[in-house]
Structure 1
Amino acid sequence: MSWLVTGGAGYIGSHVVRAFRAQGIDTVVVDDLSSGRREFVPEGVEFVEGTILDGGLLESAMQRHGVQGVVHLAGFKYAGVSVQRPLHTYQQNVTGTATLLAAMEARGVDRVVFSSSAAVYGTPDTDLVTESTPKHPESPYGESKLIGEWLLADQAVATGLRHTSLRYFNVVGSGTDEVYDPSPHNLFPLVFDALLEGRTPRINGGDYPTPDGTCVRDYIHVADLADAHVAAARRLDAGEPIEAVYNLGSGDGVSVGEIMRAVAQVTGIAFDPEVGPRRPGDPARIVASGELAARDLDWRMRHTLAEMVASAWSARRAAAE
């Protein structure tokens, strides 16, 4: 028996696969490599190249590998780009999820851990987000993730599907030098690329009502995130009570300015970031409570900010060699 990890060749997905293997749980990866990388999949892990829009391929993989549950990470994840590509975003994230759930039903696979997002909240009117904070997504990406949660809930009513959705904010760091974050939109890769190219990193806004004037956000280590997926899967396997959604948050957050100072210290490259204008709609502070996940999924911040930066920098430099 094994767990299927969709998007398992991605930055987060490959860490999830490694976390499952560390717990002795077999996995099979399905990924179309549109953003994932084949080399991110650990040696010895079954890999199926294909899209989650192909129900036949999913059913075949589930049957062939004795799949008992699914961690669903595959999707189009760029919130800003989704505004320009709404139909593509809905096809990948909504149609893809529906296709996956249909394949699961056809093969009797009755448990799923869904990779949701803090984007479902939009710009909340509170600076500490809980699972009950009103959902007001502000991009097709955020909307598609919320619809994904609805699909799971409706399928649970119809078929008894056991499920949970993990909402998280900014995922950083690396659990191994073999995997780094290659995203062209995330803060850490943008800063590291600038430093490696001899440019000064740029941040958006330095006049927010925060201690250092920069935005405060939740940053969590990718290995901690991966462990939470395994804990959720184990809870589903054991038939234990589980919430429909969990926030994976730090409870306090760090500022972009703090990150810049940590990057300078870890890399040994002294710099003062260029400060551009605020981005429209960026709130001063968004931090999530992780209390429910701490109760049920042994969720906690196991890495300091310095460790997040150091692990991400080490993996990025290894990739550049």
Structure 2
Amino acid sequence: MMTAEESGATDAMKTLQREAQAWVVRLGSQQANEDDAQAFRRWCARSRDHAQAFVQAREVWQAMAPAAQRVRQQELREAARRRPMPGRRAFLGGAVAASVAYLAVSPPLALWPSVTEWGTDYRTGTGEQREVAMGDGVVLQMNTQTRINLRRNAATEGDGIELVSGEAEVLAGGAASSRVTVMAGGGVVSAVRARFNIRHLDGEVCVTCLAGQLEVAQGAQQARLDAGRQLRYGPAGLGVVTGVDTGPVIAWRRRQLVFDQVPLSDVVAEVNRYRHGRLILTSEALGRSRVQASFSIDRLDDVAFLVRDVYGAELTQLPGGIVLLGAASA
């Protein structure tokens, strides 16, 4: 016979599993917002069991997707013959398939790769870097999690490179008459002989001229960049051209990440681009801490322990490379 204590533990586990399933559905509903993301982080941070329950629930829903889709297709075929209203089973099958499909296309908190990455001409995975010789003296050095397509540039009536997302260093060293164009975020960067770094993340593009001269255009706005100058642009238009220390910008080419008084939240976001799994900050105050450090891309698992040792953070390691970083308990 089950004791009262065992029964209570079983009920608590069932409640945790239901909550985890609800989070899977909510994050896959296409209606989740930043408040939901913050609430999810707090829920995961409550205990190791909470985060593990979510990982297990997500895996179950992913495994259900093929079967749910088959049920949905079968019901639709039968409905086409009989023309009745679809039953609850068909609705459930469609809902499960749709939710899992959305989780595959738009994974919450970027915890796993998106299927939209599969259709690009060139791509790199997490932590991967790749060199691509485009011909005519143009060479691309692709950083981690980068997607690139080859596109027809209507403005120049020639072939261009589209940086869909990620980061790349571009070397344009061909003939004097050969112009390279890189499209990203609604703008175009062009050069004849130059070397530059271009980064397209979260709707913002950052262009850094490393050698030669660049022309940057977004709509009717235009700017020119010389070596050692940087420009950012996004939905609000072109920013201001500024001077920049190019060392930290291209440190990734040496497989290093360099941070100079950067908020820890930004450091974590950058590290997550190179690292399998996910570092999750559960304390906003901790995220505001300033970091001055350099890390080897090949040893980014050390970052979590550094945050624990330097900032006194509480570290919780979970399956799948997920690490929660929170304020230390009083």
TM-score, scaled to structure 2? 0.24
Relative to its length, the structure with more strand (as a share) is: 2
TM-score, scaled to structure 1? 0.24
